[in-house]
A and B are shown apart, each in its own frame.
Chain A
């Protein structure tokens, strides 16, 4: 991981000065936006397939049970391998991926029994695993800073502060040994605790120990004052690397297995018949989901990461029928949501409105006494922005949106009205009862419409030059005649085809 960061930094330094890079990364907004976008893109790509496979909520289950994997890995590391447990270890990621697969396996085990429906199986499996995780956390690892709070609700705003320092020049790492003149030593009582005596007791035995021995990286050495020359450093936020690797992995998996994923998503039976191993793909997908969930958990928390799996694909699903476009749109929506979400957390809604003003207005109107400074969770705001984009897509999608559906329905209703009136006139035009059937003033009664509706329809028909009104009687124009005739023709054809 560290070498990878070196590589990226060296690459970047060809284009940008070191000071600028440091300044850029030290800005919380930049780091938060980059990490957020990476989470959003990888989540959206995987979420698209989850949505199409009808298993969106599996991502929710997995993101919860990831806690169990982390806790178990934590305990194993401490007790079996004797390592010092560390929240950023690779083993935690392995444990989380295993927990994700375990969730899916347990769900399928319960479902395969044939006694429980699919949704209920999921609803049984993940609360159980999560409950076990919570009990383990409270029983076994209560002395370490690992609680549900940290896992469930992360904060992306501090991602910039957790960095690896990369040294470019003047790198002098220092190792202090007890013989070193800079070593600081102190006397420590070796048998005080075991005998329960005070250090002043006669029986107390002492040894010399070194308090500052160990290995210092260039940055630490400079800070501790062991080196005289300031090293040239780049501080690189860890979460950027983690999420970039995961996003690349996701992209790579989707590009490599695009055909297989597509086939097994839309026609699993055919995929199985052609030998594409849909089960293997299924579990591969689940492993990727678990990896992204655990990679994202300390940035956005495990509940909010679900949003990036579900909301952008759902919005994209309303915008297109093509899989490649859906992948593209959902990644875009996720990334833009992450970008604009940062501003929302500071109260700025897309540059249109300022939440502080809204709060002030609420205070003025209702006298609520709310604090007028809106400064809130960045990750939650990112989710809210994606949700806003979903609402926009839902309302304005050209094909499936509320507005276009409403317009389409209205047009259909209107053209139906037109046909009915044209048919009526066509039918009665030259009949003896024409005077009674076609009088403008009473026409509405024959349809059981309101007069207003009749008036409106006639107005539209006249505007289309389909009917004319002579002396209170309505009749078809030549164009109207052709129209009615054509309609009759198509009706007849349809009927004969129907038979």
Chain B
């Protein structure tokens, strides 16, 4: 009903097949197992070292926190990927007037309060779409308007309600800051049930949601109802937010929503794996945050969950393989070393050749003066590889060094020729990368053509 009866676009098929990566599959399962083990070890640790008592209240709160972590982790992935991370912030604030109105109309019933919250949040989504669709106001400003105006309406209504003589309104403002201790078993069941329903919707429209997340124009061109689908997805996000309000409060909800998704994003390029991982991270943050906050009665639960989730983000940003900061630093260092070694090798080689013979020494101050720190690093590398040796304050190439330099020099010349004559010689188009051996980048026939060209030019020069 949401999409025209079209064949599955072939582009999506190729996308998923090319993205499948078995090493990353295994990595994800390892990571999930590791998280589960840490979580399992964490419980006895907290009992023995932190002296946490697992009474009924804590069990309920921790279970509720973990369930909420799962729900918001899964749905938060989509908010992160669609660059709507701050939607969570706007919508959690927009829930407040709904709570107040529901209370005015129907009194203190948690289910109805949550429905009211959902309705005004959803109106907020609608307003954001309307403003960005009909004016030149950008999405972030539209979110800001909803955040501030809806929240103001909520405050105005809450103040009006608090002027009432009866005491039944007490505690409505826990929705602003969240109050984990107030979570009871019925709430946990509610979270589980609503979460399950939203997961079913997510599973039913998985392909469509994936498509509008990554390529909405393509989805629209293929006849998918992008607006309707994106409203459905936003509605699911609203559901996650409304469920989380009791625990985290309006301000921290955005952190709960997106942190585990951002952490999961670092470990994988596949949406399915990201969602599962995000759920695991969310559950861990929710559960562990609740348990640690039980160490001392003064520590509020919501903020602690956010801090735990942020620790997961920091770990992921730092250590995610291939992408994390530590890996990037290591790669940059090895790149820098290789580059320095190559450059200085060429410097030494050409200096020596210009003075007559390839094994003539070049004075160290000269090399340092031209290249500075690069020269120091490069000389160290060359020395370590046995390509150069130092004598009397000067550096000269060893036979192995001369051979490497000549090979390298020839490679450079071939690349230069490729740049100059690629069209004339009818060579295949490739990206120029002089760090690479051209024989690896081009087919042998093409390399042979280039080498022939090089020899012709050399011969012409010597004659």
Contact = CB atoms under 8 A, between A and B. Distances in A.
Contacts of B88: 123
B309 to A, nearest CB: 9
A139 B304 CA distance: 12
A79 B262 CA distance: 37
B255 A384 contact: no
Given A119-B83, A128-B310, A134-B177, 9 more contacts: A115-B323, A123-B88, A127-B252, A131-B307, A139-B296, A153-B176, A309-B144, A317-B141, A387-B148
B-side interface mostly? helix
Contacts of B303: 130-132, 134-135
Interface stretch (A97-105, A176-184, A246-254, A367-375): A367-375
A120 B80 contact: yes
Interface in A292-327: 301, 303-304, 306-307, 309-311, 313-314, 317-318
Contact of B262 (A116, A149, A310): A116
Interface stretch (A55-63, A84-92, A224-232, A444-452): A55-63
A310 B134 CA distance: 18
A56 B322 CA distance: 34
B152 A370 contact: no
A376 B156 contact: yes
A303 B93 contact: yes
20 contacts: A55-B140, A56-B141, A57-B140, A60-B89, A122-B86, A123-B89, A124-B258, A124-B259, A130-B252, A131-B302, A134-B300, A135-B303, A149-B173, A153-B155, A303-B148, A307-B149, A318-B137, A370-B104, A373-B163, A387-B145
Contact of B85 (A56, A120, A153, A394): A120
B138 A54 contact: yes
B148 A306 contact: yes
Interface string B87-125: 011000100000000001100000000000000000000
B259 A310 contact: no
Interface of A: 51, 54-57, 59-60, 64, 110, 113, 115-117, 119-120, 122-124, 127-128, 130-132, 134-135, 138-139, 142, 148-149, 152-153, 301, 303-304, 306-307, 309-311, 313-314, 317-318, 345, 368, 370-371, 373-377, 379-381, 383-384, 387, 390, 394, 400, 402, 405
A128 B306 contact: yes
Given A131-B252, A314-B141, A387 B155 contact: no
B298 interface: yes
A135 B300 contact: yes
Contacts of A60: 89, 144, 147
Contacts of A55: 140
B304 A142 contact: no
7 closest A-B pairs by beta carbon, nearest first, are A127-B255, A307-B148, A131-B303, A383-B152, A310-B144, A387-B149, A123-B85
Interface in B263-281: 265-266
B145 A400 contact: no
Nearest to B144: A310
A123 B310 contact: no
Nearest to A318: B135
B143 interface: yes
Contacts of B299: 135, 138-139
Given A115-B323, A318-B135, A380-B155, A122 B85 contact: yes
Interface in B416-433: none
B7 interface: no
Interface string B125-142: 000000100111110111
B317 interface: yes
A123 B153 contact: no
A59 B89 CA distance: 13
B159 interface: yes
A310 B254 contact: no
Contacts of B325: 113, 115
B313 interface: yes
B148 A311 contact: yes
Nearest to B311: A128
B58 to A, nearest CB: 18
B46 interface: no
Contacts of A400: 135-136
Contact of B160 (A127, A132, A374): A374
Contacts of A119: 83-86, 140
A387 B317 CA distance: 39
B240 interface: no
Given A304-B151, A311-B145, A371 B163 contact: yes
A377 B144 CA distance: 20
A20 to B, nearest CB: 32
Contacts of A301: 155
A310 B313 CA distance: 30
Given A380-B153, A384-B153, A131 B255 contact: yes
A140 to B, nearest CB: 9
